[in-house]
Amino acid sequence: KNNEHWWQSAVVYQIYPRSFQDSNGDGIGDIQGIISRLDYLKNLGIGAIWLSPVYKSPNTDNGYDISDYQDIMPEFGTMQDMNQLIFEAKKRQIRIVMDLVVNHTSDEHKWFVEAKKSKENPYRDFYIWRDPVNGKEPNDLRASFGGSAWKFDENSGQYYFHLFSEKQPDLNWENKQVRNSIWKMMNFWIDKGIGGFRMDVIDLIGKQPDKMITANGPHLHDYLQEMNTNTFSGKDMLTVGETWGATPKNAELYSNPERHELSMVFQFEHSVLDQAQDGEKWDLKPLCVAELKKVLYKWQISLKHGWNSLFWNNHDLPRIVSRWGNDSKEYRVKSAKMFAILLHMMKGTPYIYQGEEIGMTNYPVKDISEVDDIESINMYKERKAKGYEKSEIIHSINVKGRDNARTPMQWNNKKEAGFTTGKAWLHVNPNYSQINVKQALEDPDSIFYTYKKLVNLRKNSKTLVWGDFIEIKKVPENVFAYVREDVDHKFLVVANFDQEKNQLNLPEYGIQKNIILGNYNEKIIDLSSYELKPYESFAIQVK
Ligand code: TEU
Ligand code: CA
């Protein structure tokens, strides 16, 4: 089966520009810094960069609060730098996927500045305004970053709706003018030759706050089909929606090609498995590996007429090797490689988050003064006011806080890990002296080369892109084992999630020699009776 779309055999690399590479010594990553690292990404073999927002922003939420969609944040550079990035990336067969944040704008966006002026202003209905009810908020919807989702505006005596911070007012998608303005902005970027869009909390655009509906509103798919028709249709672009609540059923609605909506979505069913029942992300419970296995396998077989994304990390999630692996000196490399092999041999488009390819880890803080992220800071205030112990709140932040993913990329063992010649905007993880790109490139057995092999394998294997996924059930509970096969080839993939050994007995496979990837570099594996070492993982070409 030949490739229908480039993004079905490519691997995407996510860059959080603030923390990737600084080029002018101000301690903040920037676009020229990214350009200077394109050869590194070419070496890794990735086919596209998902670029977290670089647009003008007051940075309440580090760029996810946009004040001008068609201009670049000065700390990151100029529109010329952006044009150069698109051009230089294309020269290396790397597409640029922009972050589309259109559930809300910054309150400093000209649309909101106008809307706030008066109820009669032509931009008023670009946002969601409501009169007080009994002198209070219209209802008790809560904002993601704490407090009510309704902010009172003295000037007009009305509330406006914001699902994130009060400086991120939600756009009113029921207003056709809003939708047309967004299509226009999207086409401005499409005309620049970008490769696609990642769509921030896109499942919220059909919200109906009066009915307490925030995600999966009744018009969500209508709006996406209208977007497709008016912007990227027929242009073979990668469009991936961030949809926290997606189930396999609605994931198919988004990604079934016949529906002309999106290429795929990020679903987070696996990513909430260490969250206490009915709790928030900060309410912790240990991961049950059997549950993770069930969720990952369910998604692999559920999208008959759709397409999966595959990821462990992003700029909102703690780093996987610390979260569910083992970031100790002894097992960090082994477990990081296990995650890479387990995920990248599955069916779908894999995403690598900056630093994941060298096994970067979480960075624990001792005090809230070290924390940057608005989500963590607001939660700290809220829980402290409710009487939670400081130590307990800081522990939650160290396990699940978003800053864990935002510490600067570790390039070498020099000052500030080679990220900046100045003072980094956020602390650099002290382990940069051992964990950095330079060391990884010099070590043929590094995590980097496991990722590089996986990226290359996907580029050259139709079986990996299109082959069927078949679970192997007769294995220990904490061992993943599956097959990818088509008429031509068959891969067997095994991953031991435990720090303990586990016994594998697959007599039907017997002795195997064609081991294409493995984190213990075994040459021969007798599967009829094999003792898996801690975090051992391998991919074997059986046919
Ligand atoms: O995130 C959506 C979102 O809901 C996350 O904030 C998530 O709830 C939280 O991080 C728990 O992990 C997107 C962006 O990825 C995020 O960076 C933005 O803060 C948010 O939307 C608002 O734009
Ligand atoms: Ca800079």
| pLDDT tens by residue, 246-274 | 999 989 999 999 999 999 999 999 999 99
**Residue whose C-alpha is closest to residue 174's, from 136, 229, 211, 134:** 211
Q: What share of the chain is helix, strand, coil (3-state, %, to 5)?
A: 35, 20, 50
ipTM above threshold 0.90: yes
The residue whose CA has the least distance to atom 10 of ligand 1 is 316
Mutate to test the pocket of ligand 1, among 15, 57, 59, 64 (most ligand atoms within 8 A of CB): 64
| Average pLDDT of the chain to the nearest whole number | 97
- The closest alpha carbon to 202, from 289, 266, 253, 113, belongs to 266
> Which residue among 102, 109, 316, 397 is best mutated to probe the pocket of ligand 1, counting the most ligand atoms within 8 A of its Cβ?
316
pLDDT digits (tens, 9 = 90+) for 496-506: 999 999 999 99
Q: How far is the CA of 362 from the centre of ligand 2 (A)?
A: 23
Q: How far is CA 365 from CA 36, 326, 394, 425, 427, in A?
A: 31, 19, 7, 15, 10
Q: Which ligand is nearest the CA of 146, by number? A: 1
User: What is the pLDDT, as a whole number, of residue 245?
Assistant: 87
Q: Tell me, what's the pLDDT at 488?
A: 97
What does the DSSP 8-state code read for residue 373?
A: -
> Token digits for 59?
């940075």
Task: Pick the residue whose CA is nearest to atom 7 on ligand 1.
Answer: 316
CB contact set of 459 (below 8 Å; sequence gap of 6+): 9, 10, 45, 47
Distance from the CA of 415 to the center of ligand 1, in angstroms? Answer: 31
Looking at residue 3, what is its pLDDT? 52
pLDDT above 60 (res 2): no
Ligand 1 atom, smallest distance to 400 CA: 12
Tokens of 179: 């939708």
Instruction: Note the pLDDT tens digit of each residue in 95-153.
Output: 999 999 999 999 999 999 999 999 999 999 999 999 999 999 999 999 999 999 999 99
Residues 288-292 have a mean pLDDT of: 98
As a whole number, mean pLDDT of residues 305-327 equals 98
* Nearest protein CA to atom 5 of ligand 1, as residue: 316
Place of tokens 């041999």: 345
Percentage, residues of the chain above pLDDT 90: 99
| C-alpha closest to that of 436 among 459, 416, 458, 465 | 416
- Nearest protein Cα to ligand 1, atom 11: 316
Number of Cβ within 10 Å of residue 124's Cβ equals: 20
Top mutation candidate among 19, 97, 200, 270 for ligand 1, by most atoms within 8 Å of CB = 200
Note the pLDDT tens digit of each residue in 42-90.
999 999 999 999 999 999 999 999 999 999 999 999 999 999 999 999 9
**Which ligand approaches the C-alpha of residue 61 most closely?**
1
Work out the number of other CB atoms within 10 angstroms of the CB of residue 11: 22
> Would you say residue 283 has pLDDT above 80?
yes
Q: What pTM, to 2 d.p., does this model score?
A: 0.98
- Give the Å distance between the CA of 29 and the centre of ligand 2: 5
* Spacing, Cα 78 to ligand 2 middle (Å): 12
Structure tokens at 404: 């864990």
DSSP type of residue 213: B
CA–centroid distance, 467 to ligand 1, in Å, is 33
Measure the CA–CA gap between 379 and 282, rounded to whole angstroms: 9
* Contact criterion met (CB below 8 Å) for 190 and 87: no
Q: What is the mean pLDDT of residues 445-449?
A: 98
- Mean pLDDT in residue range 154-173: 98
**What integer pLDDT is reported at residue 1 of this predicted model?**
43
Q: How far is CA 262 from the centre of its chain?
A: 16
Task: Name the residues annotated as catalytic.
Answer: 200, 242
Q: Name the closest ligand to CA 281.
A: 1
Q: From ligand 2's centre to the CA of 240, what distance in Å?
A: 28
| Residues in contact with ligand 1 (CB, 6 Å cut-off) | 61, 64, 101, 144, 164, 200-201, 244, 281, 315-316, 375, 402
Amino acid sitting at position 354 = Q
Ligand whose nearest atom lies closest to the CA of 50:
1
